[in-house]
Chain A
């Protein structure tokens, strides 16, 4: 094995997404921002669209895992509690820099942080709502957003008193398990998000909340942090976590972090195409999507309508 300038281990290609997100930090000139609807409540969707594209590109997911629906569901839920949020979209915001910070690229993170802080201050945001656990931790702890309240969307919906209307009589009882994200749970020294998503799920009248074998601060990780690696060991962690969900007989495994959704969805997809694999018969989805599906009405943002997502996997040697 030849020694290159990066060393032997450096040459495994990492996801294109890292490169895309890193390259956002190169140009930090502030563009001209025209926000059509200004509000002191701002919703930041994060990188969910990038996950969708990455998953499609990596041939890991075809139509199973929908990250973009988190955006749609969050807007629907926020409108249901009477908030018309301003959207901090990715045409002028940058990635929060969580991955860059935790991979040690501190300079890249600091450039992103300074840029985002300037934009948030400029737009006069008072309440910063995010649907991503990593974004919640990063904006709350690693940014210096004085005077801006950073909340996870489940916290905000809980304190605003989201009401889920009674489900139709024909709806059958479902068992719902919740995966505590590391970043907004045990790695969040102040204001961890444990109770709010559970309380919200309990408001769905045909849903029964079941706890996994490990939960709250002891909750096992979904297996991968920041999409940094995927190997047999991380897949083992993911599989053991999903085994816990099937052990308690869950119909839904809810997550509050888009990356947990990615990794669970990836394993779910991998096993789905194996004949005779019946272990993971439950659905994996984000908690916002689960709640928004229980609300009447359509998604105000439209949905993630990409025809490619519905296609079956291409025939290939890895099939």
Chain B
């Protein structure tokens, strides 16, 4: 099935070489496969890493504009373009002036604290996002209890009706897609069915496991 798409990108990338020495063909194949493998794994790692930051951290930066002196350190260091510089106007009775301040674009902020670290006057502090709180020095979610995580339930509901054939559910399957109440029941009751169809819960578990191993890692600050 993948023959047509694979043939198409090859001519621009590598000259066709099956006619050559089989050893050379072997080396070429291994080389290109390794490169593709690295890219694929890297993409996956970046996805996991970003999700972990967005979802797991639960913190958000805020700027105290009375302290901020507009030095743009945080602006230059933000990896997620979550900081912008704006000119605030200050109007006194006889005098009007503008002063440059940093603002946080909350949609982009992932709570990595880099801006708070580089701020020379400590104008940036981290607060918990809505739905998170600090408990015993950890940022924990107040809304999602551990046994039934929220992202799992809707994801579980959607693929179920699409892939019923392997499951042993002949009679109730036609009405189920219309029912909103059916999916949560199923997620609780049929335990053997729960693990196979979804990669998502497994990923989350893996991420949690990775997070626990991550504590021994050392940070890196890359500046272009």
For A4, the chain B residues whose CB sits under 8 A away are 57, 59, 113, 126, 137-139
A57 to B111 alpha-carbon distance, docked (Å): 21
Verify A300–B27 contact, CB threshold 8 A. yes
Q: Are A300 and B33 touching (Cβ within 8 A)?
A: no
- Given A13-B53, A16-B49, A57-B42, A229–B219 Cβ distance below 8 Å? yes
Contact check, B224 vs A318: say whether CB atoms are below 8 A apart: yes
What distance in Å separates the Cβ of A253 from its nearest Cβ neighbour in chain B?
A: 22
- 8 Å CB interface, B138-196 against A: 138-139
Q: Is A90 an interface residue (CB 8 A)?
A: yes
A103 near B114 with CB under 8 A, answer no
Q: Kindly list chain A residues whose C-beta atoms are within 8 Å of the C-beta of B122.
A: 1
- Cα A89 to Cα B48 in complex, Å, equals 24
Q: Mark A288-319, 1 if CB is under 8 A from B, else 0.
A: 00000000000011101111000000000110
B222 in complex: contacting residue of A15, A71, A105, A304, CB < 8 Å = A15
* CB of B84, distance to nearest CB on chain A (Å): 11
Instruction: Please determine whether A318 and B76 come into contact, CB atoms closer than 8 angstroms.
Output: yes
Enumerate chain A residues within 8 angstroms of B222, measured Cβ to Cβ. Answer: 15, 58, 60, 230
Rounded to whole Å, the gap between the CB of A118 and the closest CB of chain B is 20
- B32 touches A (CB below 8 Å): yes
B1 to chain A, nearest CB (A): 21
Q: Is B220 a contact partner of A305 (Cβ separation < 8 A)? A: no
Most buried by B among A12, A17, A45, A270: A12
Q: Which of B33, B209, B222 has the most CB of A within 10 A?
A: B222
A231 within 8 A of B: yes
Whether A228 lies near B220 (C-beta < 8 A) is yes
Asked if A91 contacts B137 (CB within 8 A), the reply is: no
Evaluate whether A300 and B218 lie within 8 angstroms (CB atoms) in the complex, with A22-B213, A305-B13 already known.
Answer: no
Interface size of A in residues (CB-CB distance below 8 Å) = 64
Q: Are B46 and A16 neighbours in the complex by a CB distance under 8 Å?
A: yes
A13: chain B residues at CB < 8 Å are: 49, 53, 79, 112, 114, 219-220
Are A14 and B224 in contact, CB atoms less than 8 angstroms apart? no
Interface centre among B14, B26, B41, B210 (most CB of A within 10 A): B41
Query: Does residue A277 face the partner (Cβ distance < 8 Å to B)?
Result: no
Q: Which of B14-65 contact A (CB under 8 A)?
A: 14-15, 17, 22-24, 26-28, 30-35, 37-39, 41-42, 44-46, 48-49, 53, 57, 59
Interface residues of A in 48-77 (CB under 8 A from B): 49-50, 52-54, 57-60, 68, 71-72, 75
Chain B residues bordering chain A, tally (CB within 8 A): 61
Q: Whole-angstrom distance from the CB of A42 to the nearest CB of chain B?
A: 12
Residue in B12, B215, B224 whose beta carbon sits within 8 Å of that of A6 in the complex: B215
Mask of A85-108 contacts with B, CB within 8 angstroms, 1/0: 001011100000000000111011
Residues from chain B with a CB closer than 8 A to the CB of A2 are 59, 113, 116, 125-127, 134
Q: Are A8 and B33 in contact (CB under 8 A)?
A: no
Q: Which residues of A contact B31 (CB under 8 A)?
A: 68, 71-72, 301-302
Chain A hits for B32, CB < 8 A: 302
- Of the candidates B38, B116, B214, the one having the most CB atoms from chain A within 10 angstroms of its own CB is B38
**Residues of B near any A CB (own CB < 8 A):** 12-15, 17, 22-24, 26-28, 30-35, 37-39, 41-42, 44-46, 48-49, 53, 57, 59, 76, 79, 111-114, 116-117, 122, 125-127, 134, 137-139, 206, 209-210, 213-224
- The 4 nearest A-B residue pairs measured at CB: A49-B38, A20-B45, A12-B219, A2-B126
Interface residues in chain A, defined as those with a beta carbon under 8 Å from any beta carbon in chain B: 1-6, 8-20, 22-24, 26, 36-37, 45, 49-50, 52-54, 57-60, 68, 71-72, 75, 84, 87, 89-91, 103-105, 107-108, 227-231, 270, 300-302, 304-307, 317-318
Can you spell out 5 A-B residue pairs with CB atoms less than 8 angstroms apart? A2-B116, A6-B214, A18-B220, A52-B38, A91-B37
